[in-house]
Structure formats: structure tokens, C-alpha cells
Amino acid sequence: MSESAENAATSRKPITLLRLAQMHRDREKIAVLTCYDASFARLMDEAGVDVLLVGDSLGMVVQGRADTLPVTIEEIAYHTACVARGSGSAWVVADMPFGSYHASIEQSIANACRLFQAGAKMVKLEGAWATPTIRALAERGMPVCAHLGFTPQTVHALGGYRVQGRDADGAALLRGQARAVAEAGAQMLVLELVPSALARELTAELPIPTIGIGAGRDCSGQVLVMHDMLGVTPGKLPRFVRRFVEGTADVREAVRRFVRDVKSGAYPDESLHGY
């Protein structure tokens, strides 16, 4: 690591829940990337990424699986520990994988504890059905990020990668779900594959930051899977993905561009979204 980068990394104040809530209120955009190891955690932290998400997308981009369902709590805990070691001031969020919060509230609490002990500062759960679990974790002082819209762990039930909340009934359902998870104590909300007008409305209404992925430009922040934005993922990518590595051979520069464009609002633009 160069001396100047090291200074930059150590000079940023740690990102906290209060800071994230303030950014939402001030409409200061939150830059989020998925991250799975210590080296990338350090690089992203130095480049100014606010939140590192140890996503269960690691099942696909690290392990080469077809979807996220086979990922285990042990695997997420291992990658969370790696990311937490490399990260300096960024806020580390760990996904609760499929099956780790489905059986009971007790099972969810025990598994969330494993991720906090591995170094997570917040855990992420998919689906409004998990609202009672969100409440139980929040009551115990464990920060929770909810994830609504398209939820990859229920890809089979949803019939594939489809935009959610498109018609009036779907939008009403999503509004109710978003209010319920926020009321239960979630302190951040990922909105995936949601029409931009609906994401804009929810971001204006909710007291917690929304982080969009394929949800338009008006969320409090944006998240991308690092392999997608670095152009590592083979094949056709969803149209909301921008390959920030294009035009540079430098991974650090690509991550800096992502942060710059999220903060300025240059990413995403309507042509990249279009729902």
C-alpha cells in the first residue's frame, strides 16, 4: 500500500449507523460494493466505499454456483472475518444465507451472533416474511438491513429474475412491506429490481437509507456486485450494471470511479435502469 493511500484510509472517520442515517437525511449518496476478502476490503475502504456487503452472491461469483441457495452460515462467517480484517472505516454488512434464519427466531439469533462475532456490524435478511426476526434482532441490539423487491434466495418462487412491484397491487404490497420492516427496526433497506418511481417514493418516505440495485437513481445509495462492476463476471449482465473498469487497467481506479459516480449521481442513469 502506498503511503498516501494508507493516510487516506486512516484519515476517514469510521462509518456508523448514525452517519448512514445522516447521509440519508442529507441526501448524500451511500456507495456500497460487495466484498469477500481482506485485500479487496482494504482497497475499497481506501477508495471511499462506505459499506462493504459480504453478500451471499459469493455463492455465484466466488464458488461458481448457479444461485445463492447453497451458501452456508460458516462460509459467510469466514468471508466476513476476512473482510472485517481488511476493512478500516467502512461499515461491514453480512448476509444471512438461505436456511440460516428460516427455522425459528432462536436459530436466527444464534446465527446472527456468529456473523457479529466474525466482524459484521449489521446483518441482512431477505423478505418481508422475516419481519418478526428483524424485530427480535433489533431488540437485541443487532443492526439489521432488510432486502425487498427481487430477493435472490426466493428466485424459484418468484419465477426468475423479475422486476417486483410493477403493477398497482405489487407496488402496494412492496410499500406495506417496506413500512413494516422499518417499523420492526431495520436500519437500512436494499431494494432490488424495483421500478425507479416506487424506489424514489419509498426513499422519500422512509426514515432509513435505501440502497438500490436495479432500482433507479433516487435511492439513498447504490450497491453492485464487485465482479459485475469490475467486468469479471462472464456473459450478459443486467442492464443496470456499469463496468467501471472499462477504460482503465487499474482496479483501484475502477472502484474510485464507482464511488465518484454514485456520490455525484452520475450512476445509475435512466438509460442503465429503464424499468
Q: So which residues are the catalytic ones?
A: 192
The correct pick among 190, 198, 199, 245 for binding ligand KIV (CB under 6 A) is 190
- The label of the residue with cell 417514493 reads 201
Return the SS3 of 56.
Answer: coil
Site string (104-143) toward ligand KIV, x via CB under 6 A: ----------------------------------------
Site string (217-236) toward ligand KIV, x via CB under 6 A: ------x-x-----------
The correct pick among 20, 30, 34, 143 for binding ligand KIV (CB under 6 A) is 34
According to DSSP, the residues that pair with 144 across neighbouring strands are: 123
Phi, psi of 31 (to 5 degrees): -100, 120
CB nearer ligand KIV, residue 47 or residue 190: 190
Stretch that binds ligand KIV, among 49-57, 101-109, 131-139, 245-253 (CB under 6 A): 49-57
Distance of CA 85 to the CA centre of its chain: 19
Distance (Å, whole) CA 120 – CA 10: 19
Site string (61-100) toward ligand KIV, x via CB under 6 A: ----------------------------------x-----
Q: Which of 219, 216, 194, 193 is nearest to 205 (CA)?
A: 219
Alpha helices in the chain (DSSP H): 3-11, 17-26, 38-47, 58-61, 73-86, 105-118, 131-139, 155-158, 168-184, 196-205, 226-229, 251-264, 270-273
Stretch that binds ligand KIV, among 17-25, 54-62, 138-146, 250-258 (CB under 6 A): 54-62
Q: State the residues that interact with ligand KIV by CB under 6 A.
A: 34, 53, 55-57, 95, 190, 192, 213, 223, 225
